[in-house]
Amino acid sequence: MSRNWNTESLRELDRAHSWHPFTQMRDWCAGEPLVLVEGDGAIVRDSDGREYLDGNSSIWTNIHGHRHPAITRAIREQLDRVAHVSFLGTTNAPASELASRLAGLFPPGALPRVFFSDDGSTAIEAAMKMAARFWELGGCPQRSRFVAFDHAYHGDTAGAASLGGIDAFHAGHRFPVDRISDPNGLDRLATDEIAAVVIEPLIQGAAGMRVWPAGMLRRLREKCDATGALLILDEVLTGFGRTGRMFACEHEDVIPDFLCLAKGLTGGYLPLAATLTTEKIFAAFLGEFSGQKTFYYGHSFTGNPLGCAAALACLDVFRDENVLENLQPKIAEMGRLLDGLRDISGVFEIRQCGFMAGIEIRRPDGTPLPWQERTGGRICEAARAHGLLTRPVLDTLVLMPPLCTTAGQLERAVGALRRAILETVPASRSQPPP
Ligand SMILES: *Cc1c(COP(=O)(O)O)cnc(C)c1O
């Protein structure tokens, strides 16, 4: 399997031609980028043969580990049939089967319609366009505003980015969006102008793993019902077991009007997204061709057979390997191990939701470190030397490895974080418990 890689020449090519996302390229080009060449379960390997735990699931995508035989086989078998055919004007076997399997993960009739797209951002865009058009078609064109939460992140395309509440990411492209910090915020808005409310249920990832209070999602659903606003759940991060249930909305028995899935949908192997919705929304778009109710939206790779085959295999693995059941003790173990970091004076807060955690680093007196110092980034760089690969959100260290991560791997990952924090933050020495 291994071959000899010329790390230096790969780095040279990258520095000469690549432009990386969310990256200050001047720093990047002055550095020594890590070249990843292989993966195996929760482990990724670099071009020099060093191994790392994939501590953020390859930017929150990987679910069952790398090179899982069932997912690899499903993609290969589909590749031997056809890689891509159009979903405009034809259908294909994996996509139609996947739509039915996804709808079947919810109570009968709850979210029976599945619209495919390419990534989390387009899944959100599709939901926004469907919601706004639903109200236009229903004779309520004044319902055109969207409501999103403080610190929200819903993707980077213009429509999705207009929902975002993180200034550094979202300055520059803004659609009219009202921003609230909790469901009661709806009370001060003109609710008959709201098309839909959008939320990352249970936990806001890009905001730094901020966990919502229990019961909040339920209250939001009730508020939406009371005001007539549609509810869009962005489960791009939380879907597929990350929270300990298949979907975050299950924790509070909430059925949204739209549910957006991407990242983990294919097990993290290929880009594919889905926007699920109700029969009520779907039916509003039915009519005579000349009535112009058609949903005019879509992408070239919609319903891509390779991605859909991977997604079907990913769902099979959940079933065949009892993934959610086996995850429960590992969630508890993650909590126990992270508790062990609380004696480090720089560890300000540990926030966990299912198999995802954020460890926020601050000064020992609790004040935030200057963001320009990139403390979180430097800690994660130090963690590499101890075999852990992850990426922070500012000074919040993210730990969310694939669901297949073993208890032993978790223990090593938290050990790597401990060492990296102690090495990087001089004042963070561990203190005996009081
Ligand atoms: C990553 C993410 C998105 C955007 O998904 P992309 O595939 O990167 O476009 C949207 N919402 C949430 C909650 C995310 O974490």
Q: What distances in angstroms separate CA 368 from CA 110, 301, 352, 395, 396, one per listed residue? A: 44, 43, 20, 8, 11
Q: From the CB of 284, is ligand 1 less than 6 Å away?
A: no
Residue nearest to atom 11 of ligand 1 (CA): 154
pLDDT of residue 355: 98
Residue 421's SS3 state is helix
Question: Which residues is 159 bridged to in the sheet?
Answer: none
The C-alpha atoms of residue 87 and residue 76 are separated, in whole angstroms, by 21
pLDDT of residue 432: 61
> How many angstroms does the Cα of residue 123 sit away from the middle of ligand 1?
9
Q: What distances in angstroms separate CA 3 from CA 38, 41, 196, 284, one per listed residue? A: 10, 19, 52, 56
Boundaries of every domain in the chain: 34-64+322-428, 71-320
Q: From the CB of 154, is ligand 1 less than 6 Å away?
A: yes
Pocket probe mutation, ligand 1, options 236, 237, 238, 270, max atoms within 8 Å of Cβ: 236
Pocket probe mutation, ligand 1, options 59, 122, 151, 154, max atoms within 8 Å of Cβ: 154
pLDDT of residue 233: 98
pLDDT of residue 157: 85
pLDDT of residue 373: 95
> How many angstroms does the Cα of residue 11 sit away from the middle of ligand 1?
28
Picking from 257, 153, 264, 160, the residue whose alpha carbon sits closest to that of residue 210 is: 153
pLDDT of residue 189: 93
Fold of 71-320: Aspartate Aminotransferase; domain 2 (3.40.640)
> How many angstroms does the Cα of residue 156 sit away from the middle of ligand 1?
8
pLDDT of residue 258: 98
pLDDT of residue 306: 98
pLDDT of residue 2: 62
Q: Is the dihedral of CA 315, 316, 319, 322 positive or negative?
A: negative
Q: From the CB of 234, is ligand 1 less than 6 Å away?
A: yes
Residue with tokens 């991407």: 262
Q: From the CB of 153, is ligand 1 less than 6 Å away?
A: yes
Closest atom, ligand 1, to C-alpha of 235: 13
CATH 3.30.390.50 applies to domain 34-64+322-428: no
pLDDT of residue 168: 67
Is the distance from CB of 277 to CB of 295 less than 8 angstroms?
A: no
The C-alpha atoms of residue 404 and residue 41 are separated, in whole angstroms, by 7
Residue 64 has, within 13 A of its CA and on its CB side, a CA count of 26
The C-alpha atoms of residue 284 and residue 133 are separated, in whole angstroms, by 9
Give pTM, 2 decimals: 0.96
The answer to whether 34-64+322-428 and 71-320 have equal CATH topology is: no
> How many angstroms does the Cα of residue 145 sit away from the middle of ligand 1?
21
> How many angstroms does the Cα of residue 154 sit away from the middle of ligand 1?
5
pLDDT tens sequence for the chain (434 residues): 468 999 999 999 999 999 999 999 999 999 999 999 999 999 999 999 999 999 999 999 999 999 999 999 999 999 999 999 999 999 999 999 999 999 999 999 999 999 999 999 999 999 999 999 999 999 999 999 999 999 999 998 888 888 888 776 665 545 679 999 999 999 999 999 999 999 999 999 999 999 999 999 999 999 999 999 999 999 999 999 999 999 999 999 999 999 999 999 999 999 999 999 999 999 999 999 999 999 999 999 999 999 999 999 999 999 999 999 999 999 999 999 999 999 999 999 999 999 999 999 999 899 999 999 999 999 999 999 999 999 999 999 999 999 999 999 999 999 999 999 999 997 676 666 55
pLDDT of residue 426: 75
Q: From the CB of 236, is ligand 1 less than 6 Å away?
A: yes
Which residue type occupies 85? V
